[in-house]
A and B are shown apart, each in its own frame.
Chain A
Amino acid sequence: MSQYHLGEFEEIVLLTVAILNGEAYGVSIISEIEDRLQRKVSLGAMQTVLKRLEEKDLVKSEFGEATNVRGGKRKRLYEITASGRQILSRTKAQRNSLWDAIPKVVFKFSEK
């Protein structure tokens, strides 16, 4: 498997798909990100990233149910794949190792 690197927004979307655990689709992912991170996200940016993650085999999708509020159109529900979980774990480990490498004195001075 080639070594993928997640962009910042890709990582956020992938984490959110994991959080929503089977209930992730365009609108629910946007709402979750807006609620948790107070960050505005457009549907265009979201769909682009979801398609990219699906091409990289980090998420998989299938059609869900149609509702009236969606004008009778079905949702596309996304779910994280094994590769997705793997890359998230690797990213987290990399971040942790970077955090651990920061000398404690750096934050002591910045607090003053």
Chain B
Amino acid sequence: MKQSENNPPRVVLGFFRWYCNPALLEEIEGDLTERFHYYSERYRQNKAKWLFTKEVLLLFRPTIIGNIYHLTNNSSIMTVQNKRLMLILAAVPTILLIPLIAMQFSNGVDWKILDFVIMGILLLGTGLLCELVLRKVKSTKGRIILCGAVLFSFLLIWAELAVGIFGTPFAGH
């Protein structure tokens, strides 16, 4: 087996290293790596990688992240804009965790993989559009109007996909 095949997915591990409280990083990364090797021995590589990814997503919680200051203080030259962008990127998986966790406790929430993908794209798109507005528009009034329009559009698209208020081909039921 090639060495690279027997290692945890680098992107996922990088995401974990980014959000994890530095004080907890060594012990939890060690635990994650050990769990990955355990999964690799029991399952096929793809399943082991998926289980590793699931563990990393389930670790994304306040106790493990700690003070969010470390998320945005990786570089002394990081601007306010970049800090805000990092927070937007961190907020998307955090929000997606809500239905993921709710599904474990209730049958009322039943999201498929596609639902998570679509909601992720919607949230990321909304966040990035708001960030674009905040970077390009300087007046407070303009910012409020444009960001409000972006958020309103997000809510309309979400409502259409969820319950179908306009009856488009993408309408949900």
Contacts and interface: CB of A to CB of B under 8 A. Distances in A.
Interface of A: 25-27, 30, 42-45, 47-48, 51-52, 63, 66-67, 69-71, 73-76
A67 B61 CA distance: 27
Interface string B25-46: 0111111111101100000000
Contacts, number: 66
B149 to A, nearest CB: 37
A73 B58 contact: no
A74 to B, nearest CB: 6
Given A69-B37, A73-B27, 8 more contacts: A42-B54, A44-B60, A47-B28, A47-B59, A51-B63, A70-B33, A73-B30, A73-B33
A47 B33 contact: no
A27 B27 CA distance: 10
Given A47-B63, A47-B64, A48-B61, A42 B55 contact: yes
5 contacts: A30-B35, A44-B61, A48-B64, A51-B24, A73-B27
A66 B28 contact: no
A27 B31 contact: yes
Interface of B: 24, 26-35, 37-38, 54-55, 58-61, 63-64
Contacts of B31: 25-27, 43, 47, 70, 75
Q: Is the interface of B mostly helix, strand, loop or mixed?
A: helix
B54 to A, nearest CB: 8
A70 B58 contact: no
A63 B38 CA distance: 22
A43 B61 contact: no
A34 to B, nearest CB: 11
Contacts of A30: 35
Contacts of A42: 54-55, 58-59
Nearest to B64: A47
Contacts of A73: 26-27, 29-30, 33
Contacts of B30: 66, 70-71, 73-75
A86 B64 CA distance: 28
Contacts of A70: 30-31, 33-34
A74 B26 contact: yes
